[in-house]
A and B are shown apart, each in its own frame.
Chain A
Amino acid sequence: MASLCGTSGVIGLLLAAQAKTAKAVPAWAIRPPGAVAEDDFAAACVRCGLCVRACPYDILSLATPGAEGVVGTPYFTARAKPCEMCRDVPCARACPTGALDRTLPRIEDARMGIAVLVNEETCWSVIGRTRCRWCSDACPVGPAAITLEQRVANGRKYYEPVVHSAHCTGCGKCEHACPTDEASIKVLPIALARHDRAKAPLHNGEVSPSVPPTAP
């Protein structure tokens, strides 16, 4: 009996170690709309893939062992296939466990991640190569979650893509559209980009500020 408890205990410790390391998710793996906070996702998602099957654009995958993130949990890669933001949110409606919020009222309320201008040195608009506005044009949210704000530095006028977190759903259309070799704007998990918002996703009736920040 003692050895039985001992063996069970050792297996439990190994399992706990595995659970701890395997909980980490790579930053490019974006959760489907309505996902509970990442810290709670491994408790809520049973890895059944019903969201994957519900997606009409086939953008979702389940993480395979040895490759990405928590084995069996759903994600999409914005650069390859961004979320098309279906109005009826079929992926979240299909979730049997509530790992995705089945009651998410509108897709605009989703916070899959948040777009971040990660490389000003390559952004065509910032370096002044063109007046590129592909990210802003691709943004499906209205009022646009990305605006091009005029800046002046060293006497040079340029336009910087500014993401308004109150509107950005993290769909990844901007990252997908960005014409630079490596996307200059990327969707990051909220927990990584805006830790202050990670614990309380925006989608429960938070009032969005209607005035975007103005240029200095």
Chain B
Amino acid sequence: MSATAGAVRAPVPTPRGRWWRARRTVQFGLLGLFLAGPWAGVWWVRGNLASSDWFGLVGFTDPFIALQSVVAGHAVAAPALLGAALVVAGYALLGGRSYCAWVCPVNIVTDAAAWSRDRLGIRTHWQPDRRLRIGVALAALGVSAVTGTIAWEFVNPITWLQRGLVFGMGAAWLVVAAVFAFDLLVTRRGWCSHVCPVGAFYGAVGVALVVRVRAERREACTDCGDCFRVCPEPHVIAPALKPRDAGAYRAITHGDCINCGACIDVCNDDVFEMGLRWRGRPRLSDKRSEKTSSGT
């Protein structure tokens, strides 16, 4: 980039690497399992993302929906509570917002919107605070309690889209189109990274953060900025990649990270890898060198 073209940003790279292929496979594969019943008569999985039954053996329930049902005053029956507990336990280990990158069908829509936006050079920039989604989640719970309904389900594009595909779409395309338009025309990564309370909820669920992206070889970073440009939640990278002290966690521990692996795919210097949180606790050698450097 030349100095005169200061306003022009470097093009956003589009990683289509291993992790991108893996999560698209998982996203479409899950959708395929849900659609195999109505489309092909293969009833391995029944229901939808709100609540599902797998092989007649185990059920999963969306914990955010179950929580809204509870605050709305319904005595949720045991199967749904158990199903929600299983989902919470699973994402606590896999990283809460792994749901966003690996399961949620709206992620495909918003990724497409971000891609289109970058191709078309749209630069509109209304940026609501990223904490807005926490406010929206609290508002959804509050409205659920006051109105005695599962409030977010009246608008939730995730379940509208997925239930639409599995049970019949109706006007649900409008909601999906609205989310696409919002991300395309109003705010880059607007829906998933700023508004969606489901993602905020899963972010809170992922407290254990076991599976994490790690900036394992951060010393090899050449400051090209590709990972920041490709990341839907760029604020999560810096603490692991550019820490203030050398002994800091190499794992990205911020709850907003969706474990999509785009940074791993895009990095030319092989800085990132998917790993476990604990490997690379502040190392003894790091600590010692830090101490000696600051102490003397």
Contacts and interface: CB of A to CB of B under 8 A. Distances in A.
Interface stretch (A62-70, A193-201, A205-213): A62-70
B72 interface: yes
Contacts of B50: 46-48, 72
A66 B66 CA distance: 24
A12 B51 contact: no
A19 B72 CA distance: 12
B283 to A, nearest CB: 38
B61 interface: yes
Nearest to A54: B46
A7 interface: yes
Which of B128, B150, B160, B175: most chain A Cβ within 10 A? B150
Interface stretch (B6-14, B20-28, B135-143, B258-266): B135-143
Contact of B152 (A5, A15, A45): A15
Contacts of A15: 139-140, 143, 151-152, 154-155
Contacts of A152: none
A44 interface: yes
A182 interface: no
B172 interface: yes
Interface residues of B, number: 59
B153 A71 contact: yes
Interface in B36-83: 37, 43, 46-48, 50-53, 59, 61-62, 65-66, 69, 72-77, 79-80, 83
Contact of A49 (B48, B80, B138): B48
A85 B81 CA distance: 28
B112 interface: no
Contacts of B46: 49-50, 53
B51 to A, nearest CB: 4
Contacts of B139: 8-9, 11-12, 15
B135 A43 contact: no
Contacts of A45: 150
Contacts of A11: 135-136, 139
Chain A interface size, as a band, is 35 or more
A100 B128 CA distance: 40
B164 interface: yes
Contact of B47 (A12, A23, A53, A61): A53
A65 B174 contact: yes
B146 interface: yes
Interface in B116-139: 128-129, 131-132, 135-136, 138-139
Contact of B167 (A22, A62, A96): A62
Given A47-B48, A72-B153, 15 more contacts: A15-B152, A18-B151, A19-B143, A19-B151, A40-B73, A43-B149, A46-B62, A47-B159, A53-B47, A62-B167, A67-B170, A95-B77, A97-B61, A97-B69, A97-B76
21 contacts: A4-B132, A8-B139, A11-B135, A12-B142, A16-B151, A19-B143, A39-B148, A42-B148, A43-B72, A46-B51, A46-B61, A47-B48, A47-B153, A47-B159, A48-B61, A49-B163, A62-B167, A64-B172, A66-B174, A72-B159, A96-B53
Interface of B: 37, 43, 46-48, 50-53, 59, 61-62, 65-66, 69, 72-77, 79-80, 83, 128-129, 131-132, 135-136, 138-140, 142-144, 146-155, 159-160, 163-164, 166-172, 174-175
Interface of A: 3-5, 7-9, 11-12, 15-16, 18-20, 22-23, 36, 39-40, 42-50, 52-53, 61-62, 64-67, 70-72, 94-99, 102
Q: Which are the 7 A-B pairs with shortest beta-carbon distances?
A: A64-B170, A8-B135, A66-B171, A12-B139, A98-B77, A48-B51, A43-B72
